[in-house]
Amino acid sequence: MDLVFISAAFIVGYIAQKCHLPPLVGFLIAGFALNLYGFESNQTLATLADLGVTLMLFTIGLKLEVKSLLEKEIWAGATIHNLLSTGVFTLALMGFKYLGLTSLAEIPFTSLLLIGFALSFSSTVFAVKSLQEKGEMNSTYGTLAIGILVMQDIFAVIFLTASTGKLPEWYAIGLFALPLLRPLFFRLLEKAGHGELLVLLGIFLALVVGAGGFQLVGMKPDLGALVLGMMLAQHSKASELSKALFNLKELFLVCFFLNIGLAEKPTLTGFLLAIVLMILLPLKGALYFWVLNRFHFRVRTSLLSSLSLFNFSEFGLIVGGLAFKLGWLPGDILVAIAIAVSLSFLIAAPLSRKGNEIYQHTSQWFNEPQPEALNQRDSVINPGEAQVIILGMGRIGTGAYDEFYSRYGNICLGVELREDASKQHRNEGRNVISGDATDPDFWARVLHTGNVKMVLLAMPHHQANQIALAQLKKRHFSGQIAAIAEYPDQMNNLLEEGAHAAFNIYSEAGTGFARHVCDHLQPTFARD
């Protein structure tokens, strides 16, 4: 049976990718198709799905700053949206009930409130997966969406604790001692090297220390993985650990999406009710946009954040399953929620993927906040007198910046998504600002200076480089554009789309290494 699951997931996922949809949409469809043919989920698949979610939350924690959750747009935005959407959904369901919808006829108000609460959450798995595929996890709107999702996870823990009536064990207070173990965890990271031991350490910390420790004291295991990841986020190897766990996490998440499709056998009643629930989905997106706009974010940031959160959450299934087990909801409601969650993924996937296009076609409908009133995280950027702009100040971008500086002086401007990394570069004397190179408004400001003669696309994600390249060509940038790529087909794509030069980072690394050796060691070899 496991071979059938793997085969179906690959075939349908491959078809979805060829249809320009995220593979996860294919995994969902594969799960539903297998369910219709009589297949059911098994313990192995469910366990691997849980592992995928746990590792995903751990890797989110590795990239998350605790102080970001204390910003009012995160904690207040998530709280306001949760309260508003729960109220709106509950009122809408009551309206459907009084209009004579059979499925809701016998359901009391408290159960309708529970359904509304379940539908108010957005999927962490889906949003993170979509952001990673676009290379925009660290963008302004991406960090905003992730922060709101983390707050929702905290709300989920509070609800599950209250609804089951099970309080954490008295010795859960010992979790406050975890920060005291941080130096030990840091020491382990430093000694683990860069190979398979680092991967194994990551799994140990996420599943045993984090998830296992929290479960032992009666708390949600996934929250433990998230908290431990956040504790390690300041270590220099946190990013490397996240990348080391990436493929393993992605493989387990395939099981998660398959498992959703296999969760409940679709019924006609459940499907019809799911369609009713889908009618409420645009209200959810509109509420996200309205709330974020109140915090003075630009229209693009509010819109793209809302599209990333424009779905129902797998948490709805957890709430529905718990309520069904306690006799609060009938089985058809659980089926409807499962189908609605899956359908919301199918709808949200192309919307999230085409977020920039949607913004460009709808931006004229909205009024932008005045520049002086913009949220500090989303303020406009003045690139000054730079002649060379380097997008992505990782190792490659930093090396390029330093090389240009040594040859031509202070002519470069580096652009980095993460504010902490930008600040570190500025402390080291580089001219680096924090900005989102996939943001059309960012490029409109950059090119207004008229001084830029060259742009280097050095971002680690191919799609992010493609988006930036498209923005440059759209604005008829007359300077030169050079880009990095990991694979030959990516180099060809960049050249076809208008880049003047594309460089394979692996082959160029060898050339750079030889040049560095010759410059510093100055060997004397006899010519052949």
Whether pLDDT at 447 is above 60: no
CA dist 135 and 77 (Å) reads 24
CA dist 33 and 37 (Å) reads 6
Whether pLDDT at 528 is above 70: no
- From the list 64, 75, 53, the residue with the least C-alpha distance to 154 is 75
Say if residue 184 is in the same domain as residue 95: yes
Answer whether 329's CB lies under 8 Å from 114's CB: yes
Other C-beta atoms closer than 10 Å to the C-beta of 451 total 17
Q: H-type helices in 365-433, by residue range?
A: 395-408, 419-427
Residue 314 is predicted with a pLDDT of 72
- From the list 338, 344, 320, the residue with the least C-alpha distance to 126 is 344
CA dist 125 and 152 (Å) reads 13
Q: What is the CATH number of the domain that holds 235?
A: 1.20.1530.20
Residue 173 is predicted with a pLDDT of 84
pLDDT tens sequence across 253-268: 888 878 877 876 777 7
Residue 337 within any structural domain of the chain: yes
Helix then strand then coil, in percent of the chain rounded to 5, is 70, 5, 25
Say if residue 517 is in the same domain as residue 439: yes
Whether pLDDT at 51 is above 90: no
The residue among 308, 332, 365 that closes a domain is: 365
pLDDT tens sequence across 164-205: 556 677 777 888 888 888 899 899 888 888 888 888 999 999
Two tokens at 511?
């050339």
Tell me the residue range of the domain where 444 lies.
Answer: 388-521
Residue 283 is predicted with a pLDDT of 93
Say if residue 326 is in the same domain as residue 398: no
Answer whether 298's CB lies under 8 Å from 100's CB: no
Q: What is the CATH number of the domain that holds 473?
A: 3.40.50.720
Per-residue confidence band for 84, with pLDDT thresholds at 50, 70 and 90: very high
CA dist 48 and 252 (Å) reads 5
Percent of the chain exceeding pLDDT 90 equals 11
- Which long-range contacts link 275-279 to residues 24+ away (Cβ below 8 Å)? 276/96, 276/101, 276/103, 276/336, 277/119, 277/312, 277/336, 277/337, 277/340, 278/340, 278/343, 278/344, 278/347
Report which of residues 251 and 523 the model is more confident about: 251
Answer whether 207's CB lies under 8 Å from 185's CB: no
Say if residue 266 is in the same domain as residue 299: yes
pLDDT tens sequence across 303-353: 999 999 999 987 776 677 667 766 777 767 877 887 888 788 888 888 888
Residue 50 phi/psi, 5-degree rounding, is -65, -40
**What does R_g of the chain's alpha carbons equal in angstroms?**
25
CA dist 142 and 258 (Å) reads 25
- From the list 86, 8, 111, the residue with the least C-alpha distance to 326 is 111
Whether pLDDT at 81 is above 90: yes
Per-residue confidence band for 471, with pLDDT thresholds at 50, 70 and 90: confident
Residue 1 is predicted with a pLDDT of 61
CA dist 442 and 440 (Å) reads 5
pLDDT tens sequence across 403-444: 889 888 888 899 887 777 888 899 999 999 887 777 665 665
- Counting the structural domains of the chain, the total is 2
- From the list 68, 461, 75, 66, the residue with the least C-alpha distance to 233 is 66
pLDDT tens sequence across 95-151: 988 887 877 878 888 888 888 988 999 988 788 878 877 767 767 788 889 889 888
Mean pLDDT of the chain: 82
Per-residue confidence band for 67, with pLDDT thresholds at 50, 70 and 90: confident
Percent of the chain exceeding pLDDT 70 equals 87
Whether pLDDT at 452 is above 80: yes
Say if residue 206 is in the same domain as residue 85: yes
What 8-state DSSP symbol labels residue 55?
A: H
Say if residue 204 is in the same domain as residue 133: yes
Handedness of CA 79, 80, 86, 89 (dihedral sign): negative
399 Ramachandran zone, left/alpha/beta (phi>0; psi -120 to 50) = alpha
Q: Give the three-class secondary structure for 413.
A: strand
CA dist 395 and 63 (Å) reads 18
Residue 89 is predicted with a pLDDT of 93
Per-residue confidence band for 83, with pLDDT thresholds at 50, 70 and 90: very high
* Residue position matching structure tokens 């009710």: 273
* Residue position matching structure tokens 């890797």: 59
When pLDDT is averaged across residues 56-69 and rounded to a whole number, the result is 77
Answer whether 238's CB lies under 8 Å from 232's CB: yes
Say if residue 223 is in the same domain as residue 150: yes
The DSSP element (H or E) to which 482 belongs, if any, is strand 480-485
Say if residue 361 is in the same domain as residue 396: no
Residue 374 within any structural domain of the chain: no
Two tokens at 164?
């089951």
Residue 180 is predicted with a pLDDT of 86
C-alpha dihedral (510, 512, 513, 519), degrees to nearest 10: 150
Residue 27 is predicted with a pLDDT of 84
Report which of residues 440 and 208 the model is more confident about: 208
pLDDT tens sequence across 348-383: 888 888 887 888 788 778 877 776 677 766 766 666
The residue among 305, 332, 365 that closes a domain is: 365
Whether pLDDT at 79 is above 90: yes
Contacts of 427 (CB under 8 A, 6+ apart): none
Say if residue 271 is in the same domain as residue 392: no
Report which of residues 10 and 194 the model is more confident about: 10
Say if residue 357 is in the same domain as residue 398: no
Residue 166 within any structural domain of the chain: yes
Say if residue 235 is in the same domain as residue 269: yes
Contacts of 86 (CB under 8 A, 6+ apart): 113, 116, 117, 120
Whether pLDDT at 225 is above 70: yes
Q: How far is Cα of residue 381 from the mean position of the Cα atoms in its chain?
A: 24
- From the list 1, 58, 59, 5, the residue with the least C-alpha distance to 27 is 5
Residue 378 within any structural domain of the chain: no
Size of the chain in residues = 528
